[in-house]
Chains A and B, each alone.
Chain A
Amino acid sequence: MNKYEMIFVLQADEPESEMETRVEKVQKVVADHDGQITERNHWGVRHLAYEIQHETRGNYMHLLFQSRGDAIAILDTEFRLDDKVLRHLIVVDEEWKARNEANRARRRPTAAIEAPVVAAPVAHAPEASVTEESSAVEQIPADPEA
């Protein structure tokens, strides 16, 4: 199970129902691949930094989800073929990725990789075995055994 982050931009003039349809599309694909959407941030209509298809505004939606890897190609095709979606970007959740790498580096080689995540700035429970962990996820703490 991997964690991904996705942003897509819908044409600003489209009704909100269209946005919902897109989110449902993601939901369906993700669910079909043993996943779920974990976070949903609707940024709403914003000005674009440059014109896209002669539009100056776009309706932004940001999603965090987890899923099996093979979902990504499908999601990408879906959004690429959608005419009303001006832009989309699917990316591995960098914070999750950084946390995994930090954990992996800190653990002994025989331990499992899938471990409870270390403390994040957004109020997650700190990992029990690492009590000296600082609260910001953006820091890679020093290895106490090093």
Chain B
Amino acid sequence: MAKTRAKDKKKKRRPAKKKKCLFCSEGMVVIDYKDTDMMRKMCTERGKIAPRRNTGTCPKHQRLLATSIKRARQLALVPFIKEYFR
């Protein structure tokens, strides 16, 4: 399903994410910003919203998820960014 772009040929690893959308498989209509576990799962280590490529989320849910994460961030339930120590 992934389109092959010119720059992808240079990358050695190409995670074939045939994953189903977590939300679709549960038939979820509402994504709850209060569900901190879910919110954190959908963010990267750094705290950024994880791309669909990685999480396998469908476009519709990714949009809803993004707004939910942003709400959770505003309420300090989830960070905007995480510093990590090297």
Which residues of A pack against B, CB within 8 Å?
A: 7, 9, 48-50, 52, 58, 60, 62, 86-87, 89, 91, 94-95, 98, 102, 136-140
Contact = CB atoms under 8 A, between A and B. Distances in A.
B16 interface: no
**Interface secondary structure of B, over-half rule:** loop
Contacts of B79: 49-50
B27 A136 contact: yes
B37 interface: no
A50 B28 CA distance: 29
12 contacts: A7-B34, A9-B75, A9-B76, A49-B77, A50-B76, A58-B76, A89-B74, A91-B71, A95-B30, A98-B29, A136-B27, A138-B26
B78 interface: yes
Interface residues on B, range: 10 to 19
Contact of A89 (B26, B29, B30, B71): B71
Interface in B13-46: 26-30, 32, 34
A117 B71 CA distance: 26
A105 B28 CA distance: 17
B30 A98 contact: yes
A52 to B, nearest CB: 6
A86 to B, nearest CB: 8
